[in-house]
Amino acid sequence: MLLDRRRVKFWQKWVFGIMAILMALWLVSIPVSRWVGCTGEQQATSTLDERIAALERRITASPGDLEARLQLAESYVRRANQQAEGSAGRTSDLEAAAAAYEAYIKKLARTKGTKAEVKQAERRQVAALVDLAKVYLMLGDYERVTNVYGRITALRPNDAEYFYDMGRVAISADDTDTALLAFGRYLELAPDSPQADQVRRWIEEHSPGASAQ
């Protein structure tokens, strides 16, 4: 009996010891997991801060580095998206992204070389202008979005969809004259499109003198 009691006490010590260790590990894991979750966004922002700073140094050292300028604009947008809607930091990053896109587009517009190289630069301009329009949309600045679409349609005068998008944005900017011009060109290019009838009705309702009819 004495031997059995000693064995029981021996195993009890082991069981209680293991349970104590497991409990301690569980308690430690809670604050660690919470810390990882809370700092994940901070780490991502810190990484973007470093990337933006590195890209700005790269551009300073090599102003003609188009890829760095594009990456800088995209990085500002990513950092803006990590911040609260309407916050000063988000607005600041979106404005910085817009400035970076503008600098990139300006450099592309000065491209010289073969016909193929100039065409490629033009395609990159259009893509960047579309991204720039999205940045201004995020800022809620419809007037600047409309202006950007004016630049896009100047480069793509036969692309109906850009004129359609320009017309819709111009309406949001309360720029009826520009919307009428954009939709008029859209109908010239795509008279049988699915949106054509709706656009025609809008033009009829908003053309000069329509309210007097």
**What CATH number corresponds to the domain at position 103?**
1.25.40
- Choosing from 77, 108, 140, the residue where a domain stops is 140
- Torsion 183-188-189-194 (CA) sign: positive
Do 105 and 164 fall into the same domain? no
Do 15 and 75 fall into the same domain? yes
Do 169 and 202 fall into the same domain? yes
Do 39 and 119 fall into the same domain? yes
Do 121 and 178 fall into the same domain? no
Question: How do the pLDDT tens digits run along the chain, 213 residues long?
Answer: 444 445 545 445 544 454 554 444 443 343 433 334 445 555 667 899 999 999 999 999 999 999 999 999 999 999 999 999 999 999 999 999 999 999 999 999 999 999 999 999 999 999 999 999 999 999 999 999 999 999 999 999 999 999 999 999 999 999 999 999 999 999 999 999 999 999 999 999 999 876 555
Do 124 and 167 fall into the same domain? no
Do 130 and 170 fall into the same domain? no
Do 119 and 204 fall into the same domain? no
Half-sphere exposure of 154 (CA within 13 A, CB side): 9
Do 101 and 175 fall into the same domain? no
Assigned domain for 88 exists: yes
Do 34 and 79 fall into the same domain? yes
User: What kind and span of H or E run contains 67?
Assistant: helix 66-81
User: Euclidean distance between the first and final Cα of the chain, in Å?
Assistant: 111
Q: Give the span between the Cα atoms of 196 and 176, in whole angstroms.
A: 18
Do 113 and 55 fall into the same domain? yes
Assigned domain for 195 exists: yes
Q: Give the total number of structural domains in the chain.
A: 2
Residue 74 CB contacts under 8 Å (≥ 6 apart), including other chains: 97, 131
- Choosing from 140, 175, 203, the residue where a domain stops is 140
Residue ranges making up the domain that contains 164: 157-213
Do 105 and 21 fall into the same domain? yes
- b/e sequence 86-123, b meaning 16+ C-beta within 10 Å: eeeebbebbbbbbebbbbbbebbeeeeeeeeeeeebee
